[in-house]
Structure 1
Amino acid sequence: MTELSWAQVFARRLQRHRLRAPVAGAAPDAGSIADVVSAVCGAHAQIASAAELSVGLRVPGATRAHVRRALWTDRTLVKTRGPRGTVHLLAAADLPMWVGALTALPAPSWERSVILLTPRQTEQVLAAIADAVAEADLTTAELTEEIVARTGPWAGDLVMEAFQDMWPRWVAAMPAATRSGVVCFGPNRGRVTTYTSPTRWLPDFAPMPGHAALAALVHSYLYAYGPATPAQFARWLAVPSEWGTWLFGSLDLTEVTVEGTRAWVAADDTGFPDDRPSGLRLLPYFDAYAVGCHPREQLFPGAVAHRALANGQAGNYPVLLVDGVVAGVWHQRRSGRSIRVTVEPLRTLDAAQERALGEEVERVGAILEGKVSLTIGTVSVGPHA
């Protein structure tokens, strides 16, 4: 059995996440941006600027404008719900795999469609959504009108609690609609979200068959985050760990040990670098590397876990990454084009690392198209602020 060190593991993950030392480059094309998003299994996009920064940090020469162009003009990226049902940017070419895999996962017990809609009503709503967004970008209010017109008044009944408001009954089917590829996000209309059809990105879109899609997703995950255990993969998708064990057992994977810990990689992807992880990077909220890499105690060592995790959850704080592991937190505050970055290292940085931090902050400013300043000190805001 192959025996590895954590240094080898983090060196490979940094390389595959394109997070080794930043490289200067000319303006990227949409294909290179999509390739990076595909390599990391999607970029969390609940906060649009965090997704733009997450992608931009990995693509030489990229700015938020390049990411937006790839999403809305070139359509090599698509915005939809990915792992854990959270909003992600995915490579459009990967959408058949994602939809095939997500629809083959164990059904979430919390979905309100089970309570608020009969199976027949769910089918009617999904068909109505598909028809309504086929060639349009529609807001929730506009979708409600279209769906009620196609199904009946029952679809518009205000029965779903939503913060301090009530949503119409049909919205209970929206998780199933996004998971099955009926709908994805369209461009915002001001501050209002719109929805549209994935076929506007992929005219011949069809989901990959379930088990083949799951196998492809496992291989993609292990490429970016391996070695990993079935429980870690299941946690990444928010599904039962025993189901992850079954899935890993059905695939051609290779077991390795990392300093005594058992984990798995794809059978045809067992190479690891001999060099040590290196470099200093600033990762935004819910960056794929911070959320997807396990075990937590290796990525967030010692006292770092108490400062950079929120009740054990990764992603709620932007993090300072040094040599592949979390070594601090940071925060940015924007006013117009001015971006004030505060970085709180949780270990002493040497002179070379302080220079690298200054360069990284400048890169953040370039990606977000602003004028940036750096303060090294305490980050006073809480998680997800």
Structure 2
Amino acid sequence: MTTISRITWDAASARRTERQFLAAPDEPAGGGTSVAEVVGAMMGAHAQVLSAAEVSVGMRTSELTRADVRTALWGEGSLVKTYGPRGTVHLLPARELPLWSAALTAIPTRPSPMPPDVRLTEEQAAQVVAAIGEALDGACLTLDELTEEIVARTGPWAGDRVMPAFQDLWPRWRQVLHRAGWAGTLCFGPNRGRKATYTRPTVTGAAGGTDGASGASGRGEALGTGEALGTFVRRYLYAYGPATPQHFAKWLAAPTGWAGTVFRELAAAGGIEEVDFEGTRAWVAAGDTDFPDEPVRGVRLLPYFDAYVIAAQPRERLFPGAAYERALAGGQAGNYPVLLVDGVVAGVWHQRRQGRRTTVTVEPLVRLTARQERELAEQAERVGEVLETKAEVVVGAVRVGPHA
């Protein structure tokens, strides 16, 4: 009879923070670690606002700054800025792009929320994704330039401005912009002035390299869907397990039924292993059942939409007590930068930069000890280092809303 491991929240939280380079502040967290290694451990860094991704990476290390992240992205090409989990903009390790592409394109397409006269058919969506790949091959285009190329390759219907967005109407084809990123036919290039540009990831081996206008790399060899999904789920569980299929589906914004099927098939094949996680049936990668004996200790500042805050579950344990109301805007994790104390959310914070100085205002929801106050000051100083400014910490109410 197989014995099922019993995992506590404290043990899971301690292991997750270790693997996320979020060890206690008095330890050399992430020292000498590359930007791509940190982003890989996070399973992608949310980069809708690039500065937030820079802080996410920097706060996991003792040395890296925003300049290092930008060098990895636009210089070395060890990172790619593209569409990742939930169809949102992420930084991903370039060498892992084939894995991400194979896994993300395996997610079943959800019904379009658009009115029938606005939607793209699946045939039209496929045409647009193919047209994007053709247009961006060896080119770096703005959205307007890309629209012209897509319309020329598909038809006027693709450019019809019928898609409501931000008090404006976007061309119809933009409904599948994220799917082009998932398919590996599109990623971001360097800004042209204040305009974003897009290019196609360059053809390299799976180990990665650099080439092309954006410094993107890693189209590499295609992976089979089954192989990719297995590897992808185990990578997710290594970073955030124990987890349930529902947790995995929420992280990806994927159908829960599909996620359940994927987990059942992996369990039957011996790729993942069942555990008891605080009385809930959950999963880890097969054989990965070693957890720390000591709970996590220390203070951390994480920016909004940090990967740990988004992915670590169950959310009511990560956001205990008052944190569940204060730090979850409308129930959605990531809208506020958070203060972590001993591995759980215990406050919110806000940064305001003026020239070469940054004021970090922190609103704790628990009473901090003298040691934790010192660690908080060190964390605020580290925020300044990442942003290449001089930081000061102010403890008080954060009066701005989410995303500020």
Instruction: Give the TM interval when normalised to the shorter protein.
Output: over 0.9
Among 227, 230, 243, the alignment partner of 1:228 is 243
Comparing 192-201 and 350-359, the one that deviates more:
192-201
How far off its partner does 1:120 sit? Answer: 4.3
- Cα drift, residue 378 of structure 1: 0.7
Q: 1:191 aligns with which of 189, 194, 201?
A: 194
Q: Which range moves more in the overlay, 127-136 or 93-102?
A: 127-136
**Who is 2:327 aligned against?**
308
Percent identity over the alignment is: 58
In the alignment, the residues of structure 2 paired with residue 51 and residue 216 of structure 1 have an alpha-carbon distance, to the nearest angstrom, of: 24
User: Would you say the 8 A contact 1:33–1:59 is kept in 2?
Assistant: no
SS of match in other structure, 1:93: helix
Per-residue deviation at 1:203? 6.1
**TM-score, normalized by length of structure 1?**
0.94
SS of equivalent to 2:301: strand
Shift of 1:24: 5.2
Q: Which residue of 1 aligns with 2:50?
A: 48
User: Which of 338, 341, 356 is matched with 2:360 structurally?
Assistant: 341
C-alpha contact (below 8 Å) 1:329/1:343 kept by paired residues: yes
Once the two structures are TM-superposed, the CA of residue 175 in structure 1 deviates from its matched residue by 2.7
Residue of structure 2 equivalent to 1:129: 132
- Write the deviation string for residues 76-119 of structure 1: whole angstroms up to 9, x where unpaired: 11111111111111111111111101111111212659854344
Instruction: Please report how far the alpha carbon of residue 192 of structure 1 lies from its aligned counterpart in structure 2 after TM superposition.
Output: 1.4
Separation in 2 of the partners of 1:207 and 1:379? 47
Which residue of structure 2 lines up, in the alignment, with residue 364 of structure 1? 383
Q: Is the 8 A contact 1:160 1:166 kept in 2?
A: yes
Counterpart Cα distance in 2 of 1:341 and 1:38: 28
Pairs within 5 Å for 1:77-96: 77-96=79-98
1:157–1:313 CA distance, 2 compared to 1 (3 A): closer
1:319 to 335, 338, 357: 338
Match of 2:72 in 1: 70
Change beyond 3 A, Cα 1:85–1:26: closer
For 1:133 and 1:116, locate their aligned partners in 2 and report how far apart those are by CA, in whole Å.
24
For 2:199 and 2:304, locate their aligned partners in 1 and report how far apart those are by CA, in whole Å: 26
Deviations 1:146-187 (A, max 9, x none): 223333434333232232322223323323212211111112
Shift in alpha-carbon separation, 1:141–1:236, aligned structure 2, 3 A: same
The residue type equivalent to 1:75 in the other structure is: G
Answering whether residue 305 of structure 2 is matched by residue 278 of structure 1, we say no
Summarize deviations over 1:254-277 as a string: whole Å, max 9, x none.
111133232110112111111221
| Counterparts in 2 of 1:72 and 1:357: CA distance versus 1, 3 Å | same
8 A Cα contact 2:101 2:183, kept in partner:
yes
Per the alignment, do residues 261 and 126 of structure 1 end up closer, same or farther by CA in structure 2, a change over 3 Å counting? closer
2:263 match: 248
Aligned residues, how many?
Answer: 383
Q: Distance in 2 between matches of 1:65 and 1:112?
A: 40
User: Who is 2:284 aligned against?
Assistant: 265
The Cα offsets for residues 272-320 of structure 1, whole Å up to 9 and x where unpaired, read as 1112211110000011111100111111111221111112211011100
Secondary structure in 2 aligned to 1:98? helix
Could you tell me which runs of 5 or more consecutive residues in structure 2 were left unpaired when the two chains were aligned.
203-211
Question: Who is 2:206 aligned against?
Answer: none
Residue aligning to 1:289: 308
How many angstroms apart in 1 are the aligned matches of 2:277 and 2:156? 58
Call closer, same or farther: CA 1:25–1:301 in 2, change over 3 Å. closer
Distance in 2 (CA, whole Å) between partners of 1:119 and 1:80 is 22
Deviating above 6 A after TM superposition, structure 1's stretches of 4 or more consecutive aligned residues are none
* 1:331 is the counterpart of 2:334: no
Quick one: structure 1 residues 96 and 57, their matched pair in 2 at CA, closer, same or farther if it must change by over 3 Å? same
Amino acid paired to 1:21: A
- Counterpart code for 2:22: L
Cα deviation 1:204-259 (Å, max 9, x = unaligned): 53442212111111111101110011111111111122221111111122111133
**TM-fit CA distance, 1:374:** 0.9
